[in-house]
Amino acid sequence: MTLWCAYFFRDPPRVTPVSGRLVVSPADGRVSRIANAVPPAELGLGEKPLPRVSIFMSVFDCHVNRSPVSGRVERMVYHPGKFLSADLDKASEDNERNAFIISGRVRVGVVQIAGLIARRIVPFVQEGQAVAAGDRIGMIRFGSRVDIYLPEGGKALVAEGQTALAGETVLADLSQIDAGRSFRVG
């Protein structure tokens, strides 16, 4: 049991790609769902569906979560809830969760969701704190899920079923979101 706990609480070093418009995975695990979904109300991102990438962490994955972008923790809200299986879609609404808005060159929502076995979400950062992409932002103990909400127009570069590594796997490149716009200076 001691060896398994040491394995579970591991925190391996990661090499994060450097770019202001890349979104890297906040969690190790399997990309379980990519869909448009309404973000949790506590994020304050509105009621319009946004692109969401869900990553399911089994008890064998590293559970240290990392910032997907560089910026400042604009908002951090804890929401008590149930402990349904984190692989279920309704876990996003019903389960205990900790939600972040991280704003920099891009603004994303990150939601740590406790699962059936997980009973503890531990944040490593505070509201107002600056973070770099790949910095440790928290941990969920045992099986759980992390959802990331991309800005409108963001497109995932990963596929459902793909394995992601926190701080290393590129989930999206948001450099093309505003590329088609023209501006008039007057």
Partners of 138 in beta bridges: 65, 123
Residue 184 has pLDDT above 50, yes or no: no
Put residue 153 in one of left, alpha, beta given phi > 0 → left and psi -120 to 50 → alpha: left
- Count of domains observed in the chain: 1
Q: What is the overall mean pLDDT for the chain?
A: 84
User: Is position 5 within any domain?
Assistant: no
Residue 84 has pLDDT above 60, yes or no: no
Contact between 118 and 140 (Cβ < 8 Å): yes
Highest-confidence segment of 69-83, 91-105, 113-127: 69-83
Structural domain containing residue 53: 18-172
User: Is position 181 within any domain?
Assistant: no
Catalytic residue check, 144: yes
Our CA dihedral for 6, 158, 51, 76, rounded to 10 degrees, sits at 20
What is the tens place of the pLDDT at every residue in 15-74? 888 877 899 999 999 999 999 999 999 899 999 999 999 999 887 888 899 999 999 999
Residue 11 has pLDDT above 80, yes or no: no
Among candidate residues 67, 70, 92, 144, the one labeled active-site is: 144
CATH number at residue 162: 2.70.70
| Count of CB atoms situated within 10 Å of the CB of 6 | 9
Q: Please report the pLDDT score of residue 7 as a whole number.
A: 56
Residue 176 has pLDDT above 90, yes or no: no
User: Is position 13 within any domain?
Assistant: no
User: Is position 8 within any domain?
Assistant: no
Contacts of 122 (CB under 8 A, 6+ apart): 138, 139, 140, 141
Q: Which two tokens stand for residue 181?
A: 């716009």
Put residue 138 in one of left, alpha, beta given phi > 0 → left and psi -120 to 50 → alpha: left
Confidence of residue 117 (pLDDT cuts 50, 70, 90): low
Q: Please report the pLDDT score of residue 147 as a whole number.
A: 95
**How far from the centroid of its chain's Cα atoms is residue 92's Cα?**
12
User: Is position 92 within any domain?
Assistant: yes
